[in-house]
Amino acid sequence: MDRRKGIFYTIKKDLTEENLFRKFRNEIVSLKNFYLDAEKQIKIKRMYRIVGWFYIVWWILKEMFFRLNPVRRVILLVAFALLIGSVKIVYGEEVSLVFGESHWGTILILLVLMLELKDKLIAHEELNAGRQVQQALLPDQTPKIKGWDIWLYTQPANNVGGDLVDFIKLSSKPAYGIAIADVAGKGLKSALLATKLQTILHIFLDSDKDLPDRINDINQSFCKESLKNIFASVIYLELQENENSIEFVNAGHYPPLLIKENEIIEFEKGDVAIGLMKDTNFHSVKLNLNDDEIFVAYSDGLIEAQNELGQFYGIERLKKILTKFSALSSKEIGEKVLISIEHFIGDYLPNDDLSLIIIKKTD
């Protein structure tokens, strides 16, 4: 719709729409088909038309009522109370209900709201289906690797998210891969691209190539098969059973942290994000962890979590929690971080997906 044409132009165009009445009837039919199951529709066909319409309205309102959240149900009850309270009962030769013009206007508004709710519910159901797919693709939160204590966590801000946490058992070598990624943007588009990125990771990471070369292959593929101006920050690392070495590549992500003897080391900024430049070079970092030392990577939804005052959670709060509880298991440390964030933001809704991986070296 061209918003520059103005309101009156749009109204005039709507009123002269071809087959307007038929389209209106189709909208009513779509409401009936969405809210009423097959059994109810069969019952309606057996009723007189007027009686059937009353049942259609009643069943639709009831279905709509139960699909609302508690706050909106209360608001709807108040609206109905005000509407019924202003209906006049006229006594004459026969008793009748009289609706004023405002009541009919209310009924029409209610009809529009029912149609809008139907569309929202359909979209909501599709997003829930997408969330179920994302949940099914998530790895075990605490994968078992001898010599390592690992905890993986991701939580979308909405139904679906653009963050990715993945765990890969490589077949080309006796090693395991762990990835944390954040696709730019929010919502369904980012979620779909995160799933696409996960597929690309599985295709190119299980290879004998050096780690930087594999990340370069991933970047080439993502640039080719993704949307323009879309990128993803990624940290990917590999480790082996009963070894103490980690090799990782940071492609545009927040620098990970290393906790050792109550000291926190923040690594240097990494390479460019995946998808930003087709031709680029990536570099890996190799490090050895002693027993009880901890490697932590996180998404921006963690340190950029905001409270109702607009304050950010920040890297310093995260460092304090990690230092204070470094003697705990990786899962317990992660849960302490989540509790800290929950207390910080209070009732303020999360504004970004939150992901966290904690890897602790054990005996």
Distance CA 183, CA 251 (A): 12
**Residue spans of the chain under pLDDT 50:** 1
How many Cβ atoms from other residues are within 10 Å of residue 224's Cβ? 10
Ramachandran region of residue 259, left (φ > 0), alpha (ψ -120 to 50) or beta? beta
- Can you give the pLDDT at residue 99? 53
**pTM (2 d.p.):** 0.68
Measured between alpha carbons, how far is residue 147 from residues 162, 240, 257, 341 in Å?
31, 9, 20, 29
DSSP one-letter string for 112-153: HHHHHHHHHHHHHHHHHHHHHHHHHHPPPSS-EETTEEEEEE
Look up residue 210 and give its amino acid. D
10 Å CB burial of residue 158 (0-12, 13-18, 19+) is middle
How many Cβ atoms from other residues are within 10 Å of residue 340's Cβ? 18
- Can you give the pLDDT at residue 1? 46
Beta strands in the chain (DSSP E): 88-90, 96-98, 144-145, 148-155, 163-169, 176-183, 232-239, 245-251, 257-260, 263-266, 284-288, 294-298, 354-361
- Can you give the pLDDT at residue 177? 94
Task: Find tokens 């002693």 and name the residue.
Answer: 290
How many Cβ atoms from other residues are within 10 Å of residue 315's Cβ? 17
Polymer length of the chain: 363
What φ, ψ does residue 128 adopt, rounded to 5°?
-65, -40
Measured between alpha carbons, how far is residue 301 from residues 134, 163, 335 in Å?
18, 9, 16
Domains and CATH numbers, the chain: 3-132 (no CATH), 138-361 (3.60.40.10)
The model's pLDDT over 291-341, given as tens digits with 9 standing for 90+, comes to: 999 999 999 989 999 888 889 999 999 999 999 999 999 999 999 999 999
Ramachandran region of residue 232, left (φ > 0), alpha (ψ -120 to 50) or beta? beta
- Can you give the pLDDT at residue 246? 96
